[in-house]
């Protein structure tokens, strides 16, 4: 068993590694090294926590750690990049549920201490946490209860919210916003009841108050995320990431674990900051995200005139061969078709022909922040031609060809033209300003969010139906 000095030093080292990891993820070229910082930091944290003072039960804890590691490796190898968003949501749910269980156990240990009057010195046979509880003053025990309440409430909201997010991202739950009759009044009522139960719990009520509090929080998490539309799920995943961090921080206070406090605060604050940045990018209100009050329609959508006109691959190749400048806008459809390598080859071929090729990336393209950047980096697309929306939006008017690969909402002109659209006011890539627009799409459906896109009906737009990877594979040999 390691001494407390080793554990404290390891906590500081792990915290520094986590901070370096977060800092490195802001740069694509440093991202791999940043991930390794995180891996080493987590390994140090787990080892020194597991073998620190007051820890026991190794006969079952070590096997469970091995099982968890094996499951983690298996999932990491099996899950495709297209499934990464739902995997992240699932992992958030584990953090939330862990917070709930730790909160329950902490309160049971607290009651056990009080019932046996452990504070008078009878510590034999009790856990290290119970012994710690025995040393606390009445005021400190009240703070412990507050920490338990926060951990259980935030954890329960995170758990069910993440489960619903997983279902929506995986297509197992309808992506359209759904709420029970009463809408936000139900959420408000559940929150008020949760506050009353917390007050009762802090004033000495039984364990049942904590159970009911968790049940209400489970409902709030479920109902909040059910009320959010599919177009806004990237922001939801980021927000749930923040919730999971605050839940972990609450666990850290409960267990007097400095590393959990620091790590939880890092995850919570970074997730909240990222959510705020994404809300600005989508013209959403940050408070509405927290309350689950966005993603629905404001009224009847505007009528769309015209028809979708199809074109074959040869027609697209002819336009590309005549073009001087090309902007490619990838979306989740590229991820589904696993077309990033084909897109990379098309880019190489076009650049070899002397054409100015760039990529336009919307902040919420795909199902996860940075989803498209990761896929393009994986396919070895040069970093310097992958530009953010603000950097490239003014260039579409001077671009010969815009190629849209599996994108819908992020290139939807209804965001600017239709005040009743669910995405009204959301900044989008103005691809329709290009001279010619080609949209690679599986079919004529509305896509994940269920929102019709007037871009597909514009006179300078042509639709290329079919699997994106097959389409681009056929296109590459025709580029001269």
Alpha carbon 478 to its chain's center: 39
The CA distance from 194 to 216, in Å, is 7
Percent of the chain, pLDDT > 90? 32
Assign 2 a pLDDT band (cuts: 50, 70, 90): low
Q: Is residue 415 scored above 50 in pLDDT?
A: yes
CB 424 within 8 A of CB 301: no
Record the tokens describing residue 133, joined without a space. 């509880």
Looking at per-residue pLDDT, the higher value among 330 and 77 belongs to 330
Residues in CB range of 170: below 8 A, 6 or more apart? 83, 86
Q: Is residue 263 scored above 70 in pLDDT?
A: yes
Radius of gyration for the alpha carbons in the chain, expressed in angstroms and rounded: 26
What's residue 295's pLDDT? Answer: 46
Assign 402 a pLDDT band (cuts: 50, 70, 90): very high
What's residue 471's pLDDT? Answer: 93
Q: Is residue 376 scored above 80 in pLDDT?
A: yes
Assign 225 a pLDDT band (cuts: 50, 70, 90): confident
pLDDT tens-digit series, residues 109-141: 878 777 775 445 555 555 666 666 767 777 878
Percent of the chain, pLDDT > 70? 86
The residues carrying an active-site annotation are 409
- 387, β-bridge pairs: 360
The CA distance from 369 to 388, in Å, is 12
What's residue 111's pLDDT? Answer: 80
Mean pLDDT on 403-423 = 85
What's residue 3's pLDDT? Answer: 67
Q: Is residue 301 scored above 70 in pLDDT?
A: no
pLDDT tens-digit series, residues 330-362: 988 898 888 999 999 999 999 999 999 999 999
């Amino acid at each position: 068993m390691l001494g407390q000095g080793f554990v404290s030093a390891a906590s500081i080292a792990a915290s520094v590694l986590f901070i370096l990891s977060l800092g490195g993820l802001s740069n694509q070229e440093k991202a791999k090294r940043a991930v390794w910082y995180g891996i080493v930091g987590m390994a140090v944290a787990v080892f020194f926590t597991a073998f620190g003072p007051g820890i026991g039960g190794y006969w079952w804890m070590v096997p469970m750690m091995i099982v968890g590691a094996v499951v983690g490796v298996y999932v990491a190898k099996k899950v495709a990049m297209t499934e990464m968003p739902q995997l992240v949501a699932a992992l958030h749910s584990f953090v939330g549920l862990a917070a709930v269980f730790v909160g329950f156990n902490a309160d049971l240990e607290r009651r056990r201490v009080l019932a046996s009057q452990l504070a008078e010195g009878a510590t034999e046979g009790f856990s290290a946490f119970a012994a710690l509880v025995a040393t606390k003053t009445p005021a400190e025990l009240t703070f412990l209860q507050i920490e338990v309440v926060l951990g259980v409430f935030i954890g329960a909201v995170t758990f069910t919210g993440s489960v619903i997010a997983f279902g929506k991202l995986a297509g197992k739950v309808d992506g359209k916003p759904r709420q029970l009759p009463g809408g936000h009044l139900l959420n408000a009522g559940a929150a008020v009841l949760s506050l009353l139960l917390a007050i009762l719990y802090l004033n000495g009520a039984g364990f049942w108050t904590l159970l009911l509090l968790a049940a209400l929080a489970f409902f709030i998490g479920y109902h909040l995320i059910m009320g959010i539309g599919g177009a806004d799920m990237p922001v939801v995943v980021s927000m749930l990431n923040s919730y999971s961090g605050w839940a972990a921080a609450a666990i850290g206070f409960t267990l007097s674990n400095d590393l959990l406090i620091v790590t939880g605060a890092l995850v919570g604050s970074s997730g909240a900051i990222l959510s705020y940045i994404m809300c600005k990018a989508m013209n959403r209100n940050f408070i509405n995200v927290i309350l689950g009050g966005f993603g629905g329609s404001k009224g009847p959508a505007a009528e769309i005139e015209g028809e979708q006109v199809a074109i074959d691959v040869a027609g697209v190749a002819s336009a590309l061969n005549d073009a001087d400048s090309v902007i490619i806008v990838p979306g989740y459809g590229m991820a589904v078709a696993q077309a990033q390598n084909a897109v990379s080859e098309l880019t190489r071929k076009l650049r070899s022909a002397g054409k100015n090729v760039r990529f336009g990336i919307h902040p919420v393209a795909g199902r996860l922040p940075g989803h498209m950047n990761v896929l393009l980096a994986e396919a070895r697309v040069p970093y310097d031609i992958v530009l953010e929306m603000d950097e490239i939006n003014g260039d579409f008017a001077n671009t010969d060809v815009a190629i849209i690969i599996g994108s819908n909402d992020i290139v939807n002109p209804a965001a600017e033209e239709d005040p009743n659209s669910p995405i009204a006011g959301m900044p989008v890539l103005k691809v329709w300003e290009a001279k010619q627009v080609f949209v690679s799409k599986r079919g004529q459906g509305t896509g994940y969010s269920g929102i019709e896109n007037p871009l597909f009906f514009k006179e300078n737009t042509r639709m290329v139906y079919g699997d994106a990877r097959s389409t681009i594979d056929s296109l590459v040999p025709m580029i001269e």
